[in-house]
């Protein structure tokens, strides 16, 4: 048996592989268990670094560029976008890795051109998702009109691509002009005022936790944290589905696929080229409207027939070969096979 180490956030004692642990209310965004199982098929036991103490480690797999460069042959999946983690686009930092896996098509192309190798050093690998293609409740069987599920966070930098701030604008627009009870906000931290971007915003967010939240919640539409996001989306007709940053090439996270699986029509804002990957019939493009109030008016007015059309298009897409590259199986298989092939390269 050979050993390899995986580094992701604060996880130790193989906590990444424990069923029901992790982000997204006990469901990891990334299929760590499937990755580990595939490596085991090749005679590689993947563990968090503390478990591998005292063992000879063949290679390290990092999720996001780490501050500490790998001490063995290193591979990295660039999970976070550059607005959240600028280090993920540092050419100097990326030189520490033998292969780079990323959904960022522009970055991958630039790295491969710079490398000039016959075997690409950068591999395009989209975010993984559960691709469940099954019918879901119809319009009339969904008690919620429109929801937004997100934590009250902000970017660590000021940037025109910031969609955290656009979420705030659409929340206020729904609260101001949608019919009573039509819109609901879910997530952690909304009992406090909105988080602010930049370094001072981060300081403000850390300080506010030392004080009690205001007696009158700043966001009247807030309904508290969500226990089961999938169940909520299955009960909702529409969902505001904005990525954390706009117009970042290839940046399509789990958010839109969560909606697709649930048959909940997403009001989506993401990369400019989104229609190259996902048919326009599957979502409402937030960029097509002049302002947030126009989005509210459009969503409120949509009826059962149009909603059913969106649901049919989402289901067709999930069942198509085009959706396969966004699956957890594709992610785990590609990652492991590329690394194992590279391990055989002198």
Indicate if 178 and 320 belong to the same structural domain. yes
Indicate if 158 and 121 belong to the same structural domain. no
Q: 141 Cβ partners below 8 Å, 6+ apart?
A: none
- Max Cα distance, the chain (Å): 65
Q: Per the structure, how many domains does the chain have?
A: 2
Condensed to tens digits (0 to 9), the pLDDT of residues 210-235 reads: 777 887 889 999 999 998 999 999 99
Indicate if 10 and 114 belong to the same structural domain. yes
Which two tokens mark 239?
Answer: 């969902």
User: Which pLDDT score is estimated for 20?
Assistant: 73
Condensed to tens digits (0 to 9), the pLDDT of residues 318-343 reads: 999 999 999 999 999 999 999 999 99
Q: 20 Cβ partners below 8 Å, 6+ apart?
A: 26, 27
User: Is 189 inside any structural domain?
Assistant: yes
User: Is 134 inside any structural domain?
Assistant: no
Q: Phi/psi at 3 (nearest 5 deg)?
A: -125, 150
CATH number, domain containing residue 176: 3.40.50.2000
Distance of CA 184 to the CA centre of its chain: 21
Indicate if 165 and 287 belong to the same structural domain. yes
User: Is 25 inside any structural domain?
Assistant: yes
Beta-strand pair 183-186/236-242 = unpaired
User: Is 133 inside any structural domain?
Assistant: no
Indicate if 216 and 119 belong to the same structural domain. no
**CB 259 within 8 Å of CB 222:** no
| Average pLDDT over every residue of 163-179 | 97
**CB 161 within 8 Å of CB 118:** no
| Average pLDDT over every residue of 53-80 | 95
How far apart, in whole angstroms, are the C-alpha atoms of residue 57 and residue 131? 34
Q: Phi/psi at 6 (nearest 5 deg)?
A: -120, 130
Contacts by 27-35, CB closer than 8 A, 24 or more apart:
29/79, 29/127, 29/128, 29/253, 29/254, 30/63, 30/79, 30/128, 30/331, 31/128, 31/328, 31/331, 31/332, 32/6, 32/8, 34/328, 34/329, 34/331, 34/332, 35/6, 35/61, 35/332, 35/335, 35/336
User: Which pLDDT score is estimated for 198?
Assistant: 83
Q: 283 Cβ partners below 8 Å, 6+ apart?
A: 241, 256, 259, 265, 266, 267, 268, 310
Among residues 317, 341, 328, 333, the alpha carbon closest in space to that of 254 is found at: 328
Query: 68: domain range?
Result: 2-128+327-343
Indicate if 286 and 186 belong to the same structural domain. yes
pLDDT band at 119 (very low <50, low <70, confident <90, very high): low
User: Is 248 inside any structural domain?
Assistant: yes
CB burial string 36-71: b at 16+ within 10 A, e below: bebbeeeebbbbbeebbeeeebbbbbbbbbbeeebe
Indicate if 100 and 144 belong to the same structural domain. no
| Average pLDDT over every residue of 100-112 | 93
Condensed to tens digits (0 to 9), the pLDDT of residues 81-93 reads: 999 999 999 999 9
Indicate if 117 and 148 belong to the same structural domain. no
Indicate if 152 and 8 belong to the same structural domain. no
pLDDT band at 180 (very low <50, low <70, confident <90, very high): very high
User: Which pLDDT score is estimated for 132?
Assistant: 85
Indicate if 115 and 154 belong to the same structural domain. no
**Beta-carbon-side half-sphere exposure of residue 89 (alpha carbons within 13 Å):** 16
pLDDT band at 203 (very low <50, low <70, confident <90, very high): confident
Indicate if 313 and 337 belong to the same structural domain. no
Indicate if 81 and 168 belong to the same structural domain. no
User: Which pLDDT score is estimated for 120?
Assistant: 73
Beta-strand pair 99-102/144-149 = unpaired
User: Which pLDDT score is estimated for 197?
Assistant: 86
User: Which pLDDT score is estimated for 210?
Assistant: 72
């Amino acid at each position: 048996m050979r050993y390899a180490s995986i580094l992701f956030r604060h996880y130790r004692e193989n906590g990444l592989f424990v069923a029901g642990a992790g982000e997204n209310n006990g469901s990891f965004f990334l299929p760590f268990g499937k990755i580990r199982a595939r490596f085991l098929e090749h005679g590689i036991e993947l563990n968090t670094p503390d478990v591998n103490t005292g063992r000879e480690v063949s290679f390290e797999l990092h999720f996001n560029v780490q501050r500490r460069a790998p001490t063995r042959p290193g591979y990295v999946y660039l999970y976070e976008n550059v607005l959240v983690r600028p280090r993920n686009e540092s050419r100097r930092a990326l030189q520490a890795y033998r292969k780079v896996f990323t959904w960022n098509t522009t970055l991958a192309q630039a790295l491969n051109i710079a490398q000039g190798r016959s075997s690409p050093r950068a591999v395009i690998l989209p975010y993984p998702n559960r691709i469940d293609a099954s019918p879901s409740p119809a319009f009339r069987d969904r008690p919620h009109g429109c929801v937004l599920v997100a934590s009250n966070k902000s970017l660590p930098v000021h940037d025109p691509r910031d969609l955290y701030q656009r979420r705030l604008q659409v929340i206020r627009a729904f609260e101001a002009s949608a019919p009573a009870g039509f819109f609901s906000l879910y997530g952690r931290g909304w009992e406090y005022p909105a988080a602010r971007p930049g370094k001072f915003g981060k300081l403000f967010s850390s300080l506010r936790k030392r004080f009690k939240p205001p007696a009158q919640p700043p966001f009247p539409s807030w309904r508290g944290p969500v226990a089961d996001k999938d169940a909520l989306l299955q009960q909702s007709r529409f969902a505001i589905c904005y990525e954390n940053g706009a117009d970042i090439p290839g940046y399509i996270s789990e958010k839109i696929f969560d909606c697709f699986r649930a048959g909940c029509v997403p009001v989506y804002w993401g990369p400019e080229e989104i229609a190259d990957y996902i048919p326009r019939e599957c979502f409402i493009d937030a960029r097509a409207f002049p302002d947030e109030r126009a989005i509210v008016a459009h969503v409120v007015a949509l009826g059962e027939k149009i909603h059913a059309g969106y649901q049919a298009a989402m289901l067709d897409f999930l069942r198509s070969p085009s959706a396969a590259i966004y699956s957890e199986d594709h992610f785990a298989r590609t990652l492991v096979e590329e690394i194992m092939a590279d391990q055989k390269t002198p």
